[in-house]
């Protein structure tokens, strides 16, 4: 809530609305995600939301995009592909488990209603952004640790796909030994020259 008597405007208001929308998704899922509920949580009115987002789907996508942007992870540079990928998985474990859980568990109704999927929403989130993973993989290619011909789109994301699978199936962080097994036993053998 904002201080009494002080009216929020511009980017401050938009940020507060998107924060309220994200919190509504986290607390009540898509079933409870209405413009009225978000407006009440933000301490404003439904028309204020409707002037910015034409539908609750647009509001949802904007809220997810903002929540994702708040957890921008640094590009690791441990000096090795193994170290960088494990460090990325550790960062995801520390900062993104709740985010991934909301996307995977709380938004089932959204995916069904819109005919979209988690992959479609992921594309909305990362469109136009230089991927941390791409930077890590390019450095590994430059160091001779990874064969660019073996870095197919599916192989590039394999450690993170397995990470997401763990999160969505258990709703818990991934153990350190499991991260190391994914990298050492699955990923590195597939990409090493």
Residue ranges covered by each domain of the chain: 10-67, 73-191
- Between vectors from CA 102 to CA 100 and to CA 103, what angle results, nearest 5°? 65
pTM over 0.85: no
Size of the chain in residues: 193
Residue 17 has pLDDT above 70, yes or no: yes
How confident is the model over 164-187, as a mean pLDDT?
Answer: 93
Query: Residues 124, 65: contact at Cβ < 8 Å?
Result: yes
Query: Residues 110, 157: contact at Cβ < 8 Å?
Result: no
Considering the domain delimited by 73-191, tell me its CATH architecture.
Orthogonal Bundle (1.10)
Residue 129 has pLDDT above 70, yes or no: no
CATH class of 10-67: mainly alpha
- Between vectors from CA 21 to CA 17 and to CA 25, what angle results, nearest 5°? 170
């Amino acid at each position: 809530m904002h201080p009494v008597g002080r009216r929020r405007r511009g980017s401050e208001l938009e940020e507060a609305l998107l924060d309220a929308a994200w919190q509504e998704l986290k607390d009540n899922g898509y079933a409870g995600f209405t413009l009225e509920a978000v407006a009440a949580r933000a301490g404003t009115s439904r028309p204020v939301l409707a002037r910015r987002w034409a539908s609750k789907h647009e509001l949802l996508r904007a809220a997810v995009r903002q929540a994702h942007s708040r957890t921008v992870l640094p590009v690791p540079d441990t000096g090795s592909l193994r170290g960088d990928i494990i460090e990325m998985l550790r960062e995801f474990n520390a900062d993104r488990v709740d985010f991934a859980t909301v996307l995977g568990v709380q938004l089932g109704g959204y995916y069904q209603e819109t005919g979209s999927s988690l992959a479609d929403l992921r594309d909305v989130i990362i469109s136009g952004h230089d991927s941390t993973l791409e930077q890590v993989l390019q450095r590994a290619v430059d160091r001779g640790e990874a064969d660019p011909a073996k870095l197919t789109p599916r192989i590039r994301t394999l450690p993170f796909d397995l990470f997401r699978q763990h999160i969505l199936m258990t709703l818990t962080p991934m153990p350190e030994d499991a991260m190391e097994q994914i990298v050492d036993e699955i990923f590195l053998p597939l990409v090493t020259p």
